[in-house]
Amino acid sequence: MEIEDIYSRFKQCSSVSTDTRKLEEDCMYFALKGDNFDGNKFVKKAFEEGAKYCIVDDKNAVINDNCIIVDDVLLALQELATFHRNSIDIPIISLTGSNGKTTTKELIKAVLSTTYKVKATLGNLNNHIGVPLTLLSFSSNLDFGIVEMGANHLTEINFLCGIAQPDFGLITNFGKAHLEGFGGTEGVIKGKSELYDFLKANDKVAFINTDDPKQVKQIGDYPHRITFGSNTSNDYNIQFIQANPFVELKYENSTIKSQLIGDYNYGNIAVAVVVGLHFNVTSQNIQKAIETYKPDNNRSEILEKDTTKIILDAYNANPTSMMAAVKNFKQLEGEKKFLFLGDMFELGVDAEKEHQSLVSFIEEQFDKNIYIIGKNFYKTSTKSSTHKLASFDDLKSEIHKLDFTNATILIKGSRGMALERILELL
Ligand SMILES: CC(=O)N[C@H]1[C@@H](OP(=O)(O)OP(=O)(O)OC[C@H]2O[C@@H](n3ccc(=O)[nH]c3=O)[C@H](O)[C@@H]2O)O[C@H](CO)[C@@H](O)[C@@H]1O[C@H](C)C(=O)N[C@@H](C)C(=O)N[C@H](CCC(=O)N[C@@H](CCC[C@@H](N)C(=O)O)C(=O)O)C(=O)O
Ligand SMILES: Nc1ncnc2c1ncn2[C@@H]1O[C@H](COP(=O)(O)OP(=O)(O)OP(=O)(O)O)[C@@H](O)[C@H]1O
Ligand SMILES: C[C@@H](N)C(=O)N[C@H](C)C(=O)O
């Protein structure tokens, strides 16, 4: 069946789903194949749960006239999303970067939603499946769509731009994340810059943080840019005030006191302010939107348990965000500090070097209460005062000996380390 015909059926549906475990009545179910399951096997279930149409690529899965057979279900999903994007004439703002994408996306959404009808990526559904799902959730009555794009290898952002066709774009930062798939730091810069390449090729607009020399270098002399940063020569001048513990910044005559910790969140907030200003959101609305935004899901959360203050940053980790978290932790007030840091994943051949240089850096900053957990950290050379634990189970037997009265604790590690489990041990 041609994509136009699938599209006319999509228009009869309430939504698109790829999962029979959370499927909406009257949706279009795409039977994807994954590492664990073949969606074609769940077609009967999809109809039982209320799907209107099922898109399949196994002829044995065709059980009624509402099954649509295609060569490749994933490709069909991506083509349908592209077709839909071309049919809805709304401005799309896309963002990528090594760190802070979801936070920045949520902040921009909060700011623009004060004044406009806006939809954005749910959670971080930001890959080759998530981006099509995001676009298919947009409709032509929106004022803006915000699309977060993630990548762990070259050409991925270019591919996602082809589907989303952004009118505006921004890169939060270039860091040492997913080094394995990108083949090193230069690969990250090239891969993320595919967003700029798309904007340049299509005369679209880039938001550029001029405090980040990498952004300035990568955008080159491309004229369609909106600049911001600490220098008054920018289109928008934004000043960092402090992050102790919450980030405060100043623009025009407004001071924003956010509920986000970490000076690294300054750039994430600044670009949300600038997007708001550029699209004529009032200063009062920008301020209110940002000041009421609270992070969740283990992303730089600040928690209190009796007299103990906990910075729970266990959602993910990579050398850049780990370094940023440690530096921020160092400048925070507090006499008695503990660090619980877990392995960083997806670093490939750089894993050993990156874990070692991070440990050496931490030991320069802190002389005690350093706990590093996981196989990679376990292999590093450390001072005798640093506590190396090969696994979470090893930490369990150590942690109950510690006294956290009046302490401040940083918890950070890769998703697979799931260091939020520490909370139950405190
Ligand atoms: C394919 C899929 O969506 N899988 C999701 C599914 O996984 P599950 O293990 O259950 O099975 P399969 O994948 O094998 O299943 C095949 C299909 O069968 C469906 N199904 C299964 C059982 C059943 O009873 N009924 C069914 O219909 C199933 O739904 C599949 O469609 O469920 C998991 C739990 O909810 C999901 O985690 C899994 O999602 C995968 C990982 C996925 O890719 N989802 C996208 C929608 C997405 O955007 N996910 C984001 C990923 C964010 C991310 O990590 N981004 C990276 C950079 C991107 C790198 C990119 N190249 C990559 O590889 O991802 C970043 O750093 O930002 C998310 O999960 O948040
Ligand atoms: N600008 C930044 N620089 C360094 N680290 C950051 C920055 N912004 C956020 N972080 C760190 O990254 C963590 C995750 O934030 P967020 O989910 O917004 O990033 P992300 O890029 O969307 O991650 P993912 O790609 O895994 O979805 C935060 O809790 C914080 O530790
Ligand atoms: C959570 C996932 N998007 C991610 O960033 N993974 C890195 C490698 C992590 O687990 O920290």
- Domain membership of residue 85 (yes or no) is no
- Domain membership of residue 320 (yes or no) is yes
- Same domain as 201, residue 281: yes
Task: Provide the edge-to-edge strand list for the sheet that holds 336-342.
Answer: 301-305, 308-313, 407-412, 336-342, 370-373, 387-389
Contact 101, 126 (CB under 8 A): yes
Going by CA atoms, what residue is nearest to atom 27 of ligand 1?
A: 19
Going by CA atoms, what residue is nearest to atom 43 of ligand 1?
A: 129
Indicate the pLDDT class of residue 296, thresholds 50, 70 and 90: confident
> Which of 397, 371, 394, 395 lies closest to 382, judged by CA?
371
- Same domain as 165, residue 20: no
- Domain membership of residue 83 (yes or no) is no
Average the pLDDT over 310-335 and give the result.
96
- Same domain as 65, residue 103: no
- Same domain as 155, residue 254: yes
Of 49, 77, 105, the one marking the end of a domain is 77
Q: Is the CB of 377 under 6 A from ligand 3?
A: no
- Same domain as 305, residue 282: no
- Same domain as 150, residue 10: no
pLDDT at res. 252: 87
Q: Is the CB of 3 under 6 A from ligand 1?
A: no
Indicate the pLDDT class of residue 25, thresholds 50, 70 and 90: very high
Average the pLDDT over 131-156 and give the result.
98
In order, the DSSP letters of 25-76 are: TTPEEE--B-SS-BGGGGHHHHHHTT-SEEEES-GGG--STTEEE-S-HHHH
- Same domain as 71, residue 107: no
- Domain membership of residue 163 (yes or no) is yes
Q: Ligand 3: distance of its center to the CA of 300 in Å? A: 14
Residue at token pair 């004044």: 115
- Same domain as 308, residue 283: no
Work out the number of other CB atoms within 10 angstroms of the CB of residue 14.
13
Residue 124 CA: nearest ligand 1 atom is: 70
CATH of the domain at 419: 3.90.190.20
Residues spanned by the domain of 181? 90-292
Of 270, 292, 314, the one marking the end of a domain is 292
Pairing, β 254-261 against β 246-251: antiparallel
Q: 217-228: per-residue pLDDT in tens?
A: 999 999 999 999
User: What pTM was computed for the model?
Assistant: 0.96
- 253 has a pLDDT exceeding 90: no
Write out the E strands in 165-271: 168-171, 205-209, 225-229, 236-243, 246-251, 254-261
- Same domain as 264, residue 129: yes
Q: Ligand 1: distance of its center to the CA of 338 in Å? A: 35
Q: Ligand 1: distance of its center to the CA of 225 in Å? A: 35
pLDDT at res. 113: 98
- Same domain as 285, residue 142: yes
Closest ligand by atom to 416 CA? 3
- Domain membership of residue 340 (yes or no) is yes
Average the pLDDT over 177-196 and give the result.
97
Distance separating the N- and C-terminal Cα atoms of the chain: 58
- Domain membership of residue 410 (yes or no) is yes
CATH of the domain at 45: 3.40.1390.10
ipTM for the predicted complex comes to 0.96
Indicate the pLDDT class of residue 1, thresholds 50, 70 and 90: confident
| Count: domains in the chain | 3
More confident residue, 1 or 314: 314
- Domain membership of residue 82 (yes or no) is no
- Domain membership of residue 84 (yes or no) is no
Q: Is the CB of 348 under 6 A from ligand 3?
A: no
CATH of the domain at 265: 3.40.1190.10
Residue 183 host element (H or E): none
Of 251, 266, 292, the one marking the end of a domain is 292
pLDDT at res. 270: 98
- Same domain as 281, residue 228: yes
Q: Ligand 2: distance of its center to the CA of 68 in Å? A: 39
- Same domain as 152, residue 121: yes
Average the pLDDT over 39-50 and give the result.
98
